[in-house]
Structure formats: structure tokens, C-alpha cells
Structure 1
Amino acid sequence: MRSLLMASAVALSALPLADAHAQTALPVQTITGTRLDVVATGEVTRVPDIAQVSTGVITTAPTATAALEQNAAQMRRVRDALRRAGIADRDIQTSAINLYPDYRQDERGGNPQLIGYRAQNEVTVRFRDIANTGKILDALVAEGANQINGPMLSIDKPEAALDEARVKALANARARAELYARAAGKRVGRILSISESGGGIPGPVYGRVANMRAESTKIDPGEQSLSVSLTVSFELE
């Protein structure tokens, strides 16, 4: 057994040193010119195609039970109006349900008096056809909605726009590198590295709801900017 172990040790020590190094060595990128790091941004604009609105019902009644019952009845009409307008269930989400006492301050400076209860039920609704959002909001008010907040406007599928911004960012980076190269009496060679940072999908922005009364509500979507920032390393030769 001892002779077998010694033979194994001899066999391992006989491995060429170069082979052992070849298993762990990493390729090293070398340059012969000057390294130039450029940060550039590409930006595109799109018209938002999604509007998100919070809408709901606030009811008051002498008792908590009555306030909730009245609220539920009005919210059923509001939800039915949304479905009749073609809003899918996946675009309707409950965001708040609240019940709290309603007090009246005693004019003589005494303790506040409980006069009833206030119930609130709120849903967040996504409208995929902004042109019809105003008409739907008017219909909601007609069916009992007495609380509307928003809209928040966003872009549903920004991937293609972001890819366009990436191409612009890279073109801007190369144009800036060409400028530096000419000033230094060199020329732009290969790209050494590209990293993306910042920019990306913009958060929802508030739009404008004009003339909030029946049969007149209008939403102006405007435009949103999408940007991508790149750090690009060039070799100047």
C-alpha cells in the first residue's frame, strides 16, 4: 500500500507546470494604443398608451353597517360600468377599503360628537385606449363614483423604444470618440467594452384631466422620454 501511495505522488509531481497553469489562467486584454472611456446617452420619445386612474366611492351613514352597504351598492354599479366599457378584470384592482367614524366638532368647545361613519372603496383602473378614458370617467361619475385621482400615464411595451435609444447611445459614443481622436491626432480603433447604466423605463407621470364634468372630460397624453446611458471604452490608435 505504501509503495502505491508513493507512486501516485510521483505521478502527480511529474505533471508539467505549464499544464497546471493553463487550467487557471485567464485571457488578458492588452491594447497598444490609448484607452478612451466615453459616457453617452440615447433618447427617444413616445406617446403614452396606458392611463392609470384611481376611482371609487365614499359614502356616509349613521351606522357603520349602513355606510358599508351603501358603498358596496354604488361600487357594484361602478364596476359594472367599467365592464360595459370593455375594461378587462385584469385591469381593475382594489387599492383601498376604509371605514372610519365621522365626528362633528362641538361649537361650544366640548368633545367631538360622533355623527356617523364614512366608508371608502377605491379601485385602480388601467385604460389601454386613452382616447376613450374621458368618456369612461364620465360614465363612472354618472354611476356613483365620487372620487377620481390621476391619471398616471405610461408606455405599455417600451422594449422597442429602449432598443432604439441604445443604438442612438452607441452612435453618440462613437461620434464623441471620433471627436477626441481627431483632437489627439489619432483614429478610433476597436471597442474594448460596453456597459449600460441608468436610463431605462420611465416611471408613470401625471397627465392632465381637463374640464371634469359630465360628457366633457379630456385627457392629454403628451409625450414621454425614454433614455439609455452607455459607458463605452475605445482604443485610439
Structure 2
Amino acid sequence: MTVALWMLLVVVWPAVAHARDGAGPETSTITVSATGRVVCPPDHVIATFGMETAGRSLADAQRRNHAVMAKVMERLRSLDIAPEHIQTSSFTITPQYRPSPPRSSGATPLPPEIIGYVVGNTVTVDVRKPEQMGAVIEGVLAAGVNQFHGLQWGLVDERLAQVEALKQAAASARNKAQALSETLGVRLARIISVNEEGRLVQPMPRLARTMAAMEVDGGTAPVSPGEIQVEASVTLVYEIAPN
């Protein structure tokens, strides 16, 4: 017991500091930090997917892309995805050139010849019912989507979770300060400063199968939302005084 107490004193003593406020008396302080964590299920998920269509002319490639996009929108409407939660995040047009034939040294290169176009369209969907995510992926795949860029789970309003994590962190920091003051034989006089910060830790789910594999066997995308972890850290500086 004596050894344990001595080790505790050695570890925590650097947290006790002395400060001088201008010409006033010296002030002794204790600085403590703690982190609070709140874990909760996500209540929405952002999915990003895209489609590329090719055509010998730009008009043909755009027409094909528009046809796929119309089917995608129809599928999303059938799942009650609100229009304001669907956004085109990128649109690209890429010319395709005929490969240059071999030429002898010193010959004048031929000008590039466009033989077609590829039109790309990337769409971001905010799904407010995470349990629908598997059906959303299956639906857009059936509509003609051929690219999938991932999922991002989150909370529509994370403020309540942040406040709860902050309360936990503050209580834990206060308990640490009380334990230190009792061990060192001093009392906590007042709080001099409070600093806090928070962050959101998101899960990183992966699809168990590729979109091509799902297209072959017609299965529903096996998507697991996991949990969202909200963290908040608090640092308290206490003035201490003799008992």
C-alpha cells in the first residue's frame, strides 16, 4: 500500500504547478483532463454512387446517362427518398481518342481523333432510414448504376450526444481533481480555467460483396451501420490551498 501511494505521488506531482498573478501572491494549481464518450446508433447514412455511359457521339452518351438517371430517381422515389436528399455531386464528359498508329522516326504525328465520349454522373443520397440502405443499393444497382463510392454514417443532430459526452468528461475531470487533492492533502479552492473540445468518431462499414457479385446472384447488399461514438474532452485548472 505504501509503495502504491508513493508511485501515485510521483506520477501526479507534475500536475501541480505554481503561478504568480502579476505582483500578487503565488498561486498553486492542479490541472486535470478527462474524456467522455457516448455511443449511439446512426440515424442517417450518406451514400455516393455513380454511372458511366459511353456513346459514339456526345448526345448519345448523354442520352444513355439520362436514361439511367431517370430509372435511379424512380427507384429512390419508390423508397420514399425526398428529392431534397438527392444531389448530383459531379458530372463529367471525357472524350475517347483513337489510339495513335505506329509511326516511323521523324514522321509528323497525326492529329488526335475523337471516336466517342464517356459521360459520368455521381449522385449523393442522404438516407434518413438507415435500415433502408440495403434496399437503396439494390435498387440503384438494378437501375443501371455501375460505380459505388461508399457510405458515411452519422447523426442528423449530434448536439445532444455532444452535451452528454461533455457532462461525462467534466464529471470525470472533477473526480480526478478531488482524488488528487485528497492524496496531496490540499483542498480545491476554485476553478481557474476550463477548456473543452469534441469530435465525432464514425464507423467505417464495408460491403461484404462487390456490386458485380450482387448483380449476379440478386442478393440484398449486406450493410451493417455499426455505432457512432461522440467524444468530448475537458481540461480543468483548479487553484489549490492548504487544508
* TM-score of the superposed pair, with normalisation by structure 1: 0.78
The residue identity in structure 2 corresponding to 1:150 is: G
The residue identity in structure 2 corresponding to 1:138 is: E
Structure 1 residues 33 and 91, CA gap change in structure 2 (3 angstroms): same
Structure 1 residues 31 and 88, CA gap change in structure 2 (3 angstroms): farther
The alpha carbon displacement at 1:162 in A equals 0.8
1:210 aligns with 2:208: yes
Q: Which runs of 5+ in 1 are unaligned?
A: 1-27
Secondary structure, counterpart of 2:42 in structure 1: coil
Secondary structure, counterpart of 2:223 in structure 1: strand
Residue deviations 1:135-181 (CA, integer Å, cap 9, x gap) = 12111111111122111111222111111111111111112112221
The alpha carbon displacement at 1:108 in A equals 4.3
Q: Report the equivalent of 1:44.
A: 38
1:70 aligns with 2:79: no
Contact 1:95 1:123 in 2 (8 A): yes
Q: Report the equivalent of 1:196.
A: 196
The residue identity in structure 1 corresponding to 2:199 is: G
Equivalents in 1 of 2:140, 2:240: separation in Å?
63
Matches within 5 A, 1:142-153: 142-153=142-153
The residue identity in structure 2 corresponding to 1:38 is: V
The alpha carbon displacement at 1:123 in A equals 1.0
Q: Which of structure 1's runs of 4+ aligned residues deviate more than 4 A?
A: 30-33, 106-113
Q: Report the equivalent of 1:119.
A: 119
The residue identity in structure 2 corresponding to 1:100 is: T
The residue identity in structure 1 corresponding to 2:125 is: V
Contact 1:151 1:209 in 2 (8 A): no
Equivalents in 2 of 1:54, 1:31: separation in Å?
61
Q: Report the equivalent of 1:86.
A: 80
The alpha carbon displacement at 1:56 in A equals 2.5
* TM-score of the superposed pair, with normalisation by structure 2: 0.76
Equivalents in 1 of 2:176, 2:25: separation in Å?
20
2:51 to 57, 64, 71: 57
1:178 aligns with 2:174: no
The alpha carbon displacement at 1:225 in A equals 1.8
Structure 1 residues 31 and 163, CA gap change in structure 2 (3 angstroms): farther
The alpha carbon displacement at 1:32 in A equals 8.9
Q: Which runs of 5+ in 2 are unaligned?
A: 1-21, 104-108
